[in-house]
């Protein structure tokens, strides 16, 4: 299983960061994660303008907690 992990930090408080793990149906492949990561991050940022993307990665293994 492949999971996209996005890390966003508040613009007003750069030390305040949170991980988002979007859930995809059907599940992501590694290539889908790599190519879809930027699109997912851009969508989240459009809905949350006071945050910035700090980093993102694709993890393999069991899926842990999900955030849409």
Q: What is the pLDDT of residues 15-27, one digit of tens each?
A: 999 999 998 888 8
Instruction: Output the DSSP codes for the chain.
Output: -EEEEEEEEESS-TT-EEEE----SSPBPHHHHHHHHHHHHHHHHHH-TTEEEEEEEEEESS------
User: pTM, whole model, 2 decimals?
Assistant: 0.81
Residue 66 belongs to some domain of the structure: no
Q: How many domains does the chain have?
A: 1
Q: Is residue 52 over pLDDT 60?
A: yes
pLDDT of residue 56: 94
Residue 31 belongs to some domain of the structure: yes
Residue 67 belongs to some domain of the structure: no
* Residue 4 or 25, more confident: 4
Domain range for 8 is 2-60
Contact status, residue 22 vs residue 68, Cβ threshold 8 Å: yes
Residue 19 belongs to some domain of the structure: yes
Residue 47 belongs to some domain of the structure: yes
pLDDT of residue 63: 61
């Amino acid at each position: 299983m492949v999971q996209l992990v996005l890390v966003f930090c508040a613009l007003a408080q750069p030390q305040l960061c949170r991980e988002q793990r979007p859930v995809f149906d059907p599940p992501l492949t590694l290539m889908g994660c790599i190519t879809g990561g930027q699109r997912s991050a851009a969508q989240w940022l459009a809905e949350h303008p006071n945050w910035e993307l700090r980093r993102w990665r694709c993890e393999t293994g069991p899926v842990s907690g999900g955030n849409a």
